[in-house]
Amino acid sequence: MSQLSPYPSEVFDSWAEVYDTQPNPLLSLEQRILGSKLGDVHGLDILDAGCGTGRWLHQLADRGPRSLIGVDISPAMLLLAGTKLERTCDLRLGSCAALPVDDATTDMVLSSFVVSYLEDLDGFAQEVDRVARPGATVFLTDMHPDTEAQFNWKRGSHAGQIRGRRWSLAQITQAFQACGFKIVSLMEPSFSIEEKQIFEECGRLDLYESALAFPAIYVLRLRKPPSAPRVRKAACYAPGEIHLTGGRCAVGADASALASLSIDGRTIHSIESGSWKSTLDLSGFLLLPGLINAHDHLDFSLYPNIGDGPYQSAGEWAHDIHSNHAERIARYRQVPRSLHLWWGGIRNLLSGVTTVCHHNPLNQELLSPGFAVRVVPDFGWAHSPSLEPDLASKFRESPAGVPFVVHAAEGVDEKSSREIFDLDRIQALDDRTVLVHGLGCTAQGVSLINQRRASVILCPTSNEFLFHQSPSLGFIRSLDSVMLGSDSPLTAAGDLLDEIRFVHTQTGLDANSIYAMVTSRPAEFLRLRQGEGGIKPGSAADLVVIRDTGLSPAETMARLTNDQIELVMIGGRIQLAGEWLYERLPGGLRQGLQRFEVNGHPRWVRAPLDRLFAETEEFLGSDFCVGGKRVRRAPAA
């Protein structure tokens, strides 16, 4: 049981203690029905996705499979499973949104009472498709969604009210059929005399009587066709074919064309002057490539600016805030990291960012297909030369072919400007090196950076807040490879669009240069591999849609504000919509979007907002900002 993106694993940890011991008529019914349907599993490689305490693994182990893997998001559940099982079972901590299982290695996938906890049903179906061999069997069971609605059944136990997502049977079968699975059987059994005793023991015979006429659970058996071609690799999640017609499409900083975009799965299939089919008419809109935010700290997303500059260096600022603002920091630090990360993803999404480079260790949640934005998966990093005593070996040990990101010259004193030369001396300055800030760089420092073919990420509003200075136009123009990042709201204005407008209006940098700094440049220097940063056939379908004002793509982007964004698509899936376009989206594309307000503007985003608001309010009350923008729950309809 239990796997699932929107719930922190702790919820299931607390449930684990009682899960096995509480009498549960649903489990009893499932046991009777599914137990007889599993058939002969001799010699099969079996995966229990969301295995919980190993209820099914335990039984399957006795039936002689070739291998048995149990995946669950809750360490406590796995621990319990481990105590029950022989060593023959391989227990893995992980999420159903990104199963820690190799491609095409499984003959049977079982997922018991898991589906309704999934935030991303399509993503789960595609993950199951990825790990399943041709001909594989899939069993899905859960509380019956219709009856659950009818009786308002609650999930979980007294240990925790676990909220479920009520996917309909049609949605569930469609998600798997979209991956090529065929339905073998669908059983919708009701309770019977065998469960009566459990109700009796709980003193709830009334419930038993009233539920008798309805299906209590479903057991869905699916089959992957024997010779199904493997279309996708790892964690993909796009809904299928989408045709965006009538819009003006950016093909470069100052080039655009009226075109129809056909999106197949996660990628742009073709760009043509006309199309027979239309999923969404974007006449009057401009399509920009999704923005790439080269530098952020997603885990500081809920913090406000803290500090009283000007400082000489980032080190001086850090010392000051920990000495003089400890209480304020403590208030935000009590918010669980996963909430900061989610709001960080949303903060980027709101500004049209489709790919972000997070400066800290990654976790599964950030890389899961259900996360708000795409997070750069492969890079080496260190905080900064002053905070990383062993930077040289960190650099040496980071894999070849991936960028190495490090804060450097973040200050205006001599020590900060020396850092570029320090990095060179320890041989950590080459074409993989991506320096964040570089504010304190001297002219010689810039020459050295260019000579070593290293690149620089600017975060100008953060510099302005800390040092009352930001990179000059001359400095920016002297760098061969330069990108733009938002940095965190602890020091910066809020999001990537704030940086773009700042560097355009305050620094005076031209729009075409800025366009490259958030599209093609970071795609190149962060070694992105899915065609991010451009709109072309074969590229990931990462798009930002705004009303067409007739300006060039770059001039439009240089003036863009959050509220002007009408649509954001990442990997072929709509992640954000403004009110106007949301109303015009076909139903299937709306699914999973939730509404809230950002500085008073309604936004629809694909994120577990109900949970995020409820959990964040526990720590910060209902009045909080994300990246300097006030967010509010949608008013009740």
Pick the closer one to Zn ion by CB: 118 or 466: 466
What is the rounded distance in angstroms from the CA atom of residue 417 to the CA atom of residue 594? 46
The distance of closest approach from Cβ of residue 277 to Zn ion in the complex, given in angstroms and rounded to an integer, is 44
The distance of closest approach from Cβ of residue 576 to Zn ion in the complex, given in angstroms and rounded to an integer, is 25
Which residue in 406, 403, 356 sits closest to 385, CA to CA?
A: 406
Pick the closer one to Zn ion by CB: 45 or 487: 487
The distance of closest approach from Cβ of residue 561 to Zn ion in the complex, given in angstroms and rounded to an integer, is 23
What is the rounded distance in angstroms from the CA atom of residue 130 to the CA atom of residue 124? 10
The answer to whether 150 touches 71, Cβ cutoff 8 Å, is: no
The distance of closest approach from Cβ of residue 362 to Zn ion in the complex, given in angstroms and rounded to an integer, is 15
Task: Please report which residue ranges of 334-402 form alpha helices under DSSP H.
Answer: 337-350, 364-367, 391-397
Name which of residues 23 to 62 contact Zn ion (CB under 5 A). Answer: none
Which residue in 64, 35, 65 sits closest to 47, CA to CA?
A: 65
Q: DSSP string of 580-600?
A: HHHHHS-HHHHTT-EEEEETT
Name which of residues 539 to 568 contact Zn ion (CB under 5 A). Answer: none
The distance of closest approach from Cβ of residue 461 to Zn ion in the complex, given in angstroms and rounded to an integer, is 12
Site string for Zn ion, 483-522 (x = CB under 5 A): ----x-----------------------------------
Q: Tokens 């499979």 appear where?
A: 65
Pick the closer one to Zn ion by CB: 458 or 541: 458
- Compute how many other C-beta atoms are within 10 angstroms of the C-beta atom of residue 210: 12
The distance of closest approach from Cβ of residue 395 to Zn ion in the complex, given in angstroms and rounded to an integer, is 18
Name the residue number minimizing CB distance to Zn ion. Answer: 487
The distance of closest approach from Cβ of residue 295 to Zn ion in the complex, given in angstroms and rounded to an integer, is 6
What is the rounded distance in angstroms from the CA atom of residue 383 to the CA atom of residue 399? 17
Name which of residues 470 to 489 contact Zn ion (CB under 5 A). Answer: 487
What is the rounded distance in angstroms from the CA atom of residue 495 to the CA atom of residue 344? 10
Spatial CB neighbours of 580, under 8 Å, sequence gap ≥ 6: 566
Pick the closer one to Zn ion by CB: 487 or 555: 487
Q: Tokens 């403590």 appear where?
A: 330
Pick the closer one to Zn ion by CB: 121 or 436: 436
> What torsion do the CA atoms of 610, 616, 617, 622 make, to the nearest 10 degrees?
-80
The distance of closest approach from Cβ of residue 357 to Zn ion in the complex, given in angstroms and rounded to an integer, is 10
What's the Cα-to-Cα distance from 6 to each of 11, 95, 118, 501, 591, rounded to whole Å?
11, 10, 7, 34, 16
Which amino acid belongs to residue 181? F
Pick the closer one to Zn ion by CB: 71 or 420: 420
- Compute how many other C-beta atoms are within 10 angstroms of the C-beta atom of residue 551: 15
Return the exposure string of 504-536: e unless at least 16 CB atoms fall within 10 Å of the residue's CB, then b: beebebebbbbbbbbbbbbbebbebebbbbbbe
Pick the closer one to Zn ion by CB: 347 or 603: 347
What is the rounded distance in angstroms from the CA atom of residue 49 to the CA atom of residue 115? 10
What is the rounded distance in angstroms from the CA atom of residue 295 to the CA atom of residue 486? 6
The distance of closest approach from Cβ of residue 413 to Zn ion in the complex, given in angstroms and rounded to an integer, is 18
Pick the closer one to Zn ion by CB: 487 or 566: 487
The distance of closest approach from Cβ of residue 487 to Zn ion in the complex, given in angstroms and rounded to an integer, is 5
Q: How many residues bind Zn ion (CB under 5 A)?
A: 1
Q: Tokens 């949640």 appear where?
A: 365
- The DSSP letter of residue 452 is T
The distance of closest approach from Cβ of residue 17 to Zn ion in the complex, given in angstroms and rounded to an integer, is 40
Pick the closer one to Zn ion by CB: 237 or 395: 395
Pick the closer one to Zn ion by CB: 105 or 312: 312
Pick the closer one to Zn ion by CB: 318 or 426: 318
The distance of closest approach from Cβ of residue 488 to Zn ion in the complex, given in angstroms and rounded to an integer, is 6
Pick the closer one to Zn ion by CB: 219 or 517: 517
The answer to whether 262 touches 241, Cβ cutoff 8 Å, is: yes
614 Cα distance to chain centroid:
19
Task: Please report which residue ranges of 453-595 form alpha helices under DSSP H.
Answer: 460-467, 473-478, 496-505, 511-517, 520-525, 553-558, 579-584, 587-590
Pick the closer one to Zn ion by CB: 120 or 487: 487
The distance of closest approach from Cβ of residue 607 to Zn ion in the complex, given in angstroms and rounded to an integer, is 24
Half-sphere exposure of 536 (CA within 13 A, CB side): 9
* Contacts to Zn ion by CB under 5 A: 487
